[in-house]
Amino acid sequence: MAQGTYFTRAGVFSFLILRCVAFCGGPKVRTVFEFPFKTWVENIAVRANGNLLVTLIDHPELHMINPFCPGDGTMVSAFPDALGLLGIAEFQPDQFAVVVGNWSDVTFTTTPHSYSIWQVDMRPFRAVGSEVILPAVVEKVVDIPEAVFLNGLTTLNRDDQTILVADSGLGVVWRVNIATRNYEVILQDATMEPTPPYNLGINGIHIRDQYLYYTNSGLQLFARMPINPNGTRAGDADVLVTNHLGDDFTFDRRGNAYVTQDPGNDLYQVTPEGNVSTVLGGPDSPLIEGDTAAQFGRTPFDCHILYITTNGGLVNPVNGSAVGGKIIAFNTDCQ
């Protein structure tokens, strides 16, 4: 049983969370928010109050979307001297670490030496509709000039404020301590390496039960590696899925992984037993065209809703027509 405090536009209320109020009511799939055409929504983190934070890779911007109020979006912050944002994760309550750097959606290439990690403190942030009343505190943590293409990001240890960051260009995982600003390569493996033509290796990363799970886009695999609490390797990599494109992913409470497929257009599920199936979309489906990342809601009202970000099919448009990047809500209780 956990104590929850929810901030809404109407005010503040607190209550006890007894269980997830999961039910198959309403539509199986709905659009929460659609950005203008040529907006590539790249990654997503969910605040404890239910608001969604999404990064754009083709604009250096972080946006907040209220999933309970369709069309309600606010730009939290723009970031200087960069083309875009990539991975995002909460490393302390309502404080988020973000990858900022230059990957070009025009040339499909990365600019080595352009990447940095930033922190965004959402605690003071207040907005009404799209208008910011009190800003978030946004600060650069550290430049990582040795990095080639920083991409997925996940929290390793909240107590000492360490995160792991995938480098898709070098095929390694960096450990970054946000408090001390120290960083180092902590993991390297053949299953993480980039391959031609896009030189895109390890991409999405998340930790579950002492394993680092990851996709490798070029090698088209989903794998896991046992790690120590400090992020170092504790065993050999185990490839769970092959011949599937993979971008970012998340897990439900039962341990099923949901893997997005940009530039594919489907979402596949991997059960704890290792069974793989498509649960939403498909190569010719516009439902989640260009799906890039996914996270579950965090309130009792949407903990069964998987929020999926998309780039609208900019890389591989369904029937040749791309749309604006979206946030799609998928009710996983309706499967």
Ligand X SMILES: *[C@@H]1O[C@H](CO)[C@@H](O)[C@H](O)[C@H]1NC(C)=O
Contact segment (CB under 6 A) with ligand X among 9-17, 81-89, 162-170, 219-227 equals 81-89
Residue 100 and residue 164 in contact, taking contact as beta carbons nearer than 8 Å: no
Angle at 323 between CA 335 and CA 293, to 5 degrees: 50
Interface with ligand X (CB under 6 A), residue from 130, 232, 242, 335 = 232
Q: What is the DSSP letter of 320?
A: G
Residues 233-292 that bind ligand X (CB under 6 A): 271, 273, 275, 286
Interface with ligand X (CB under 6 A), residue from 49, 92, 109, 111 = 111
Task: Residue 310: name the closest of 296, 297, 294 by CA.
Answer: 294
Distance CA 57, CA 102 (A): 8
Closest distance of CB 46 from ligand X, Å: 28
Complex with ligand X: residue 111 or 278, whichever CB lies closer = 111
Closest distance of CB 278 from ligand X, Å: 14
3-class secondary structure, 295:
strand
Distance CA 119, CA 45 (A): 13
Residue 111 and residue 85 in contact, taking contact as beta carbons nearer than 8 Å: no
Q: Provide the pairing of β-strand 61-65 with 73-78.
A: antiparallel
Closest distance of CB 114 from ligand X, Å: 4
Site size for ligand X, by CB under 6 A?
16
For 334, list phi and psi in degrees, rounded to 5.
-100, 10
Closest distance of CB 73 from ligand X, Å: 23
Complex with ligand X: residue 81 or 333, whichever CB lies closer = 81
Contact between 335 and ligand X per CB under 6 A: no
Distance CA 286, CA 312 (A): 8
Closest distance of CB 104 from ligand X, Å: 9
Interface with ligand X (CB under 6 A), residue from 30, 113, 140, 253 = 113
Q: Which residues bind ligand X (CB under 6 A)?
A: 81-83, 102, 111, 113-114, 228, 230, 232, 271, 273, 275, 286, 318-319
